[in-house]
Amino acid sequence: MAGTILVLNGPNLNLLGTREPDVYGSATLADVEALCRAEAEAAGLTIDFRQTNAEHEMVEWIQQGRSGLAGIVINPAAFSYAGYPVLDALKMVDCPVVEVHISNIHRREEEWRKNSLMTAAVTGVISGLGVAGYGLAVRYLAGLRRG
Helix/strand/coil for 68: coil
Q: How far apart are CA 132 and CA 110, in angstroms?
A: 23
Helix/strand/coil for 47: strand
Q: How far apart are CA 44 and CA 119, in angstroms?
A: 28
**Cα atoms in the Cβ-side hemisphere of radius 13 Å centred on 132:** 4
Type of residue at 105? I
- Give me the catalytic one of 24, 106, 134, 140: 24
- Give me the catalytic one of 81, 84, 101, 134: 101
Q: Is 134 a catalytic residue?
A: no
The catalytic residue positions are: 24, 101
